[in-house]
Structure 1
Amino acid sequence: MTISQNPTFDTFQGLFNEAEFVYRHLGSNEAKQAELLKAIGYKDMANFINDTVPEPVRLHKELDLPLAMSEHAALAKLRAMADNITVNKSYIGQGYSPVRMPAVIQRNVLENPGWYTAYTPYQAEIAQGRLEALLNFQQVCIDLTGLEMAGASLLDEATAAAEAMAMSKRVSKSKSTQFFVDDRIYPQTLDVINTRAKYFGWEVIVGDFETAKSGDYFGALFQYVGVEGDVKDLTDVIAAVKKNKTYVSVVSDIMSLVLLKSPADMGADVALGSTQRFGIPMGFGGPHAAYFAFSDKAKRSAPGRIIGVSKDSQGNTALRMALQTREQHIRREKANSNICTSQVLLANLAGMYAVYHGPNGVKRIATRIHAFATAFADVIKGANDSNLNVVHDQFFDSVVIDCGSEKLATQIFENADNVGYNLWRLDDTKLSVAFSETSDQKDFNVLTQLFITKAHDLPEDARVSLNSAHLRTDDILT
């Protein structure tokens, strides 16, 4: 169907000009098409199509499309459709949490074309602001992981984990071709690791993290916090596997690291994870910038790019990309990574979130999330219902409850969905409730009523139930 760029003025269809949006956004109009066709020796589009598109794939009829709509009419229709969508509150967890992006960051960074259209800052002289924001992101990651260096972000948590595996092979002195993965890892992360390992010829061994002590692996990846929200001190197992020349990476929930002992304190060589919880909307699964922290001595084996501090020709402090090790910049066989090496906009948003809230602000948020989970677990335990049991004693934000029977678990799960709450169902009898920055008093009332048929208010005192051995004692974001 041909849409005229200059409809007549003698009909209401022409005066409404509903198709204006189409030809404003499509570069080719009738006149331009005729000019292009003439240049290549064709009189019309039909003859051109006959000579270029194979017969079996042609439709031989006009597409059955409705009449064109104006931009404002299309937006109004989309709004009406969106109003009919039921948006449940997500208490699933699994690496994705509802957040609150500060309005000043949304307006001035996320919605600002000066930030969201910017490409890789190859010309440092015109990109000092963005480079400074990325340097700040790196420092946030260094503070929270306790390691010496951090990159300027990677694509997401799953690909960062695969990069950690590849880095382990480059750095480890072990001759093994086996890579150990904690069975408490997120399934989406394990999928990417398996795919990457397959084409390198490495064997991925998945098991209880304690069993890593007795194996011979070039690298090991542990989850902290676990897929079920459980918190385990990895210090002993990390020390044991490193005696076998195993290079150790820890996947960490960045919000939990505000409260928990850092991966470096437990002996990790690499720490990685998603920064989604630092103000980045879930976005149906992405995009979300990953962080990747490591020791100074391993910096030339790390994937991605590092923003560094230098001096300009006048001796003033200046920032630039100090190291970038993917194949588009160096010889392919020397590249440390051949995937997307950064998520600059998302990384900057996460770094700005940390700046906006400051050390006390992020600690208040992390403590509130944990205190919500603790209060919820206390209600379940205090109900004295033999059917309901809290599975893990030490957790950060997620409470796993064994409902004792498939029937009860199904009833609670379906009732939650009916009142607008999405829970995670682990198996026939277990449900998980993952609290977040957006959890509030009303949510607590609803969730407690779903499980014990009586709504409870939040207690006056906020309790931290984590053992002191799990908690960090050093200052962050100072």
Structure 2
Amino acid sequence: MSIRLSTENEFIDRHIGPREADIRAMLELVGYDSLDSLMDSAIPASIKGSSVLEPSAGQSEAQALAELRAIAARNQQFRSHIGQGYYPCHTPAPILRNLLENPAWYTAYTPYQPEISQGRLEALLNFQTLISDLTGMQIANASLLDEATAAAEAMTFCKRVSKNKGAQAFFASERCHPQTLDVLRTRAQPLGIEVVVGDETALDDFSAYFGVLLQYPASTGAVLDQRALIERAHASNTLVAVAADLLALTLLTPPGEFGADVVFGSAQRFGVPLGFGGPHAAYFATRDAFKRDMPGRLVGISIDRFGKPALRLAMQTREQHIRREKATSNICTAQVLLANIASMYAVYHGPQGLKDIARRVHRLTAILAAGLNQLGHRVEQEHFFDTLSIVTARPAAEIHAAARAAGINLRELDAGRVGLSLDETCEQAEVEALWAVFAAEGQTLPDFAALAAASSDRLPEGLLRQSAFLRHEVFNRYHSETELMRYLRRLADKDLALDRSMIPLGSCTMKLNAASEMIPITWPEFGNLHPFAPAEQAEGYRLLTEELERMLCAATGYDAVSLQPNAGSQGEYAGLLAIRAYHASRGEGHRDVCLIPSSAHGTNPATASMAGMRVVVTACDARGNVDIADLRAKAEEHRERLAALMITYPSTHGVFEEGIREICQIIHDNGGQVYIDGANMNAMVGLCAPGKFGGDVSHLNLHKTFCIPHGGGGPGVGPIGVKAHLAPFLPGHDRLARKEGAVSAAPFGSASILPITWMYIRMMGGIGLKRASQMAILNANYIARRLEEHYPVLYTGENGLVAHECILDLRPLKETSGITVDDVAKRLIDFGFHAPTMSFPVAGTLMVEPTESESKEELDRFCDAMIRIREEIRAVELGELDRDDNPLKNAPHTAAELAGEWTHPYSREQAVYPLPSLVEGKYWPPVGRVDNVYGDRNLACACPPVADYQDA
């Protein structure tokens, strides 16, 4: 017997579900004798062998963790007082352990199926309530990507709803965070919006602006009374957006109470680590009158079929990009996991706890300011919350040098001024350490106790908050760790996530998020870095990002990568901006036509519109492939203005299209660039490379192919890979060599979750990555073959094969039985499964993607469920089950219904135990089928009013 002496490649077997015997059995059913022969048939000859990924061996989990630990150790953890929208904070241990590190929360998917998402929906409703209460606004969404992109959304929101229709300019206060202004300029330019940055206090005439952006408190600390300014703006029909600090709003009058139309900002300091810039949940709140124009997702309260309260994603904001080029935003994601952390931070501390934190931070800042003045420096702000700008008594460079020597980072303003911010982690020792930095040699430090006794608060009297907030029961009950732990467990038990079962969502790639990949994200070496810390302190992040960029280039065949986009939608946008800038650099800035197949993801046309391009839709043929003749005709018709083609590969229909090289060549021959949507890279890594078969740019969903978890609907990372000619036009940032073109607030977007992908690639190696793609294709074809006699597979390739997903056609069943795709989706809940993707890209279908991580046992369990459901449908067709009162129409079935009076013509057993295997482990949905129409007609998007439970 041979003994394995190396641990290399052990992770491949951990990541991939089917065992060798399973693979042989699956191949036999599909009709192939090996994975290689299956790939030969599935992948078109024209792109076969285009992969440049080296067949390297992977490292063991222990080896990869040790190597990454050495990289992390090269980051220096200075005490951060930089501020600028990013603050050190404490993540309460029960939230860290029971939420951030809990796969029940981080492996969950976007809550499109509300019946199995009540837990995460409740957490998001708490978040929306938190934001509405603190901002004084009537309605808030379920989070956006970061503060700067939320500002960009606020700008375009104001443009849409402003009554000042003739204005084409947007005024942004010079007191806003610099990174916010940079992203605003990026977003405004393609849309023809002029961003004017200046001093709002000197602005008398607002008529030239459709919107005004203010920062409250200002980026450098001042708390200004903006009420008169807002009144003047409104007199000119100009809307006002305010970027506000949530912690400050516990003490200051909320913007909604002094006239703001939009309030947005970051929830980072509510328990979310700095993480070198992200991921952090942004928030966005507005007036009820504007709710239908609000970007992002919105959780609402509805009822289930029993009339009991149930939560769901509400209105068209569930997915704005379904409106394609008419969408108001391309944002189709959120930062759910981070929003949930922030909401639970507020639940744990409660309103009084939040106020206590804010009061302590402000009090320390006031004492610090008094001491700095005593040392001969001048604090510029009369009124402030936690941030100061100081005119220094000696050159600022000397102050920064002293600070660095003491392990402290301050904000760099100019040669004679320094900025600093305090936060909830600060104590007396931090104040005294800062005094020591600012003190001249031989100067006596201030007496902390004396200044604490003598100095007063520095909040403006006229702006002190008078209104109560967070009086709802949820924010006033779970303040002990025992209670919070049980609350989080109770919510998690309501949901289905990958820790319970396969989530077979087509196009969404719900695969293993391995524990070894997740461990590093909570290391302080990655979590405690400010995104604007000096470069020499972030050497570990530099190594990590450079290595990851090389890894992704090797996986895709591209020449350069930007990791900045913090969602797939942002990656799409950054890719089109690169194409746009490339054309402009060649004197062809007039190229503005973007061809998009009718089958494309809805984000594609929405993104093209945001990038200032004109969408021209091209047809698909009867097999779901791009109609090459129509594509050629439209490319030639628009030859002089053709900018790009956006195409998904493998196709949105789950097929490797044979003509992809020809398609790319047609676009290039007519002067355009090819954007290949990387949503389906899970079928290509190690097998074929978009950068080698015609793509000029692709975005990659690291939260799909490369194992970053979905987190209930975010975080995500959407980096772009480009060919060399587009590399000069990758997103820039003030902290990067290229300064312009920022698409996210931080230079590396959601940097703290990049270690997940680094670990995945390092452990899999080239051999494992190729194997994963092969197995994703095998698993999809196995499911297609097992189910094809029960449900037609809508599209296949030349050899009757699918790629990594398959579309099951349920449309004929509606005609014969009255059973809809929704009925099947809800019935799957009774079997313990999240439904596949419903009615995308074809209405009345289910798109199934099993991924390589699912075992043959789990694939068979899903197939058995689908086959049993088909038998139930057949019973309806034959009249054996009532056409209106049957297990599918009534699904899902709750435990409460089972225990009550049973009036259905089918048995309780058939309702809840349709397969014997369910007896051993049953998921019980907490609510019955949710009434979507009721929820939209009776829109409620925050926790029930305090009076509701007071009356009760």
Provide TM-score, normalisation by structure 1. Answer: 0.87
Equivalent residues in 2 for 1:158-177, closer than 5 Å: 158-174=148-164, 175-177=166-168
SS at match of 1:96: coil
Equivalent residues in 2 for 1:30-41, closer than 5 Å: 35-39=34-38
Amino acid at match of 1:185: C
Q: 1:376 to 1:310 in 2, by over 3 A?
A: same
Amino acid at match of 1:111: E
Offset at 1:442? 1.9
Q: In 2, are the aligned partners of 1:179 and 1:217 still within 8 Å (CA)?
A: yes
Offset at 1:29? 11
Which has the larger displacement, 217-226 or 461-470?
461-470
Whether 2:470 is the aligned partner of 1:477: answer yes
Amino acid at match of 1:411: E
Match of residue 102, structure 2, among 107, 112, 125: 112
Equivalent residues in 2 for 1:68-217, closer than 5 Å: 69-83=59-73, 85-174=75-164, 175-215=166-206, 216-217=208-209
Match of residue 389, structure 1, among 378, 396, 401: 378
Equivalent residues in 2 for 1:234-383, closer than 5 Å: 234-325=226-317, 330-383=322-375
1:295-331 alpha-carbon deviations (Å, 9 max, x no partner): 1111111111221112222111111112233766532
Amino acid at match of 1:445: E
Q: In 1, are the aligned partners of 2:170 and 2:210 still within 8 Å (CA)?
A: yes
Q: Distance in 1 between matches of 2:280 and 2:362?
A: 23
Runs of 5+ in structure 1 lacking a partner?
1-7, 43-47
Q: In 1, are the aligned partners of 2:321 and 2:330 still within 8 Å (CA)?
A: no
Which has the larger displacement, 322-331 or 371-380?
322-331
Q: In 2, are the aligned partners of 1:212 and 1:241 still within 8 Å (CA)?
A: no
Percent sequence identity over aligned pairs: 48
SS at match of 1:477: coil
Q: In 2, are the aligned partners of 1:446 and 1:455 still within 8 Å (CA)?
A: no
1:380-410 alpha-carbon deviations (Å, 9 max, x no partner): 1123x2xx2111111111121111443xx21
SS at match of 2:213: strand
Number of the residue aligned with 2:2? 9
SS at match of 2:315: strand
Q: In 1, are the aligned partners of 2:295 and 2:331 still within 8 Å (CA)?
A: no
Amino acid at match of 1:195: T
Q: In 1, are the aligned partners of 2:127 and 2:342 still within 8 Å (CA)?
A: yes
Offset at 1:19? 4.0
1:316-373 alpha-carbon deviations (Å, 9 max, x no partner): 1111112233766532244221124421111111111111101110001111111111
Offset at 1:212? 3.7
Q: Distance in 2 between matches of 1:368 and 1:413?
A: 26
Offset at 1:85? 3.9
Match of residue 400, structure 1, among 389, 400, 404: 389
Q: In 2, are the aligned partners of 1:279 and 1:349 still within 8 Å (CA)?
A: yes
Amino acid at match of 1:35: S
Amino acid at match of 1:246: T
Number of the residue aligned with 2:705? none
Q: 1:21 to 1:468 in 2, by over 3 A?
A: same
Aligned pair count reads 452
Q: Distance in 1 between matches of 2:275 and 2:232?
A: 39
Offset at 1:40? 5.7
Number of the residue aligned with 1:4? none
Amino acid at match of 1:296: D
Q: 1:254 to 1:127 in 2, by over 3 A?
A: same
SS at match of 1:94: coil
Number of the residue aligned with 1:438? 425
Number of the residue aligned with 2:212? 220
Amino acid at match of 2:298: I
Whether 2:408 is the aligned partner of 1:421: answer yes
Q: 1:349 to 1:457 in 2, by over 3 A?
A: farther
Q: 1:36 to 1:271 in 2, by over 3 A?
A: same
Number of the residue aligned with 1:451? 438
Offset at 1:188? 1.3
Q: 1:147 to 1:51 in 2, by over 3 A?
A: closer
Q: Distance in 2 between matches of 1:81 and 1:443?
A: 28
SS at match of 2:298: strand
Amino acid at match of 2:231: A
1:428-455 alpha-carbon deviations (Å, 9 max, x no partner): 1111121011112221221111112544
Which has the larger displacement, 439-448 or 357-366?
439-448
Q: Distance in 1 between matches of 2:70 and 2:39?
A: 46
SS at match of 1:426: strand
Q: Distance in 1 between matches of 2:317 and 2:72?
A: 43
Number of the residue aligned with 1:3? none
SS at match of 1:162: helix
Q: 1:84 to 1:177 in 2, by over 3 A?
A: closer
Q: In 1, are the aligned partners of 2:389 and 2:418 still within 8 Å (CA)?
A: yes
1:214-273 alpha-carbon deviations (Å, 9 max, x no partner): 132111111111111111111011100110010111110111111111101221111110
1:444-467 alpha-carbon deviations (Å, 9 max, x no partner): 221111112544464354842112
Q: Distance in 1 between matches of 2:378 and 2:177?
A: 23
What's the Cα RMSD here? 2.8
SS at match of 1:232: coil
SS at match of 1:214: coil
Amino acid at match of 2:152: A
Number of the residue aligned with 1:466? 459
Offset at 1:71? 2.4
Number of the residue aligned with 2:834? none
Q: Distance in 2 between matches of 1:58 and 1:305?
A: 39
Number of the residue aligned with 2:397? 410
Offset at 1:24? 4.2
Amino acid at match of 2:268: Q
Q: In 1, are the aligned partners of 2:82 and 2:420 still within 8 Å (CA)?
A: yes
Which has the larger displacement, 448-457 or 185-194?
448-457
Q: 1:396 to 1:69 in 2, by over 3 A?
A: same
Number of the residue aligned with 2:639? none
Amino acid at match of 2:373: K
Offset at 1:81? 4.8
Number of the residue aligned with 1:5? none
Runs of 5+ in structure 2 lacking a partner?
28-32, 472-952
Provide TM-score, normalisation by structure 2. Answer: 0.45
Q: Distance in 1 between matches of 2:325 and 2:39?
A: 43
Which has the larger displacement, 131-140 or 456-465?
456-465
Q: Distance in 2 between matches of 1:79 and 1:446?
A: 30
Q: 1:49 to 1:405 in 2, by over 3 A?
A: farther
Q: 1:430 to 1:340 in 2, by over 3 A?
A: farther
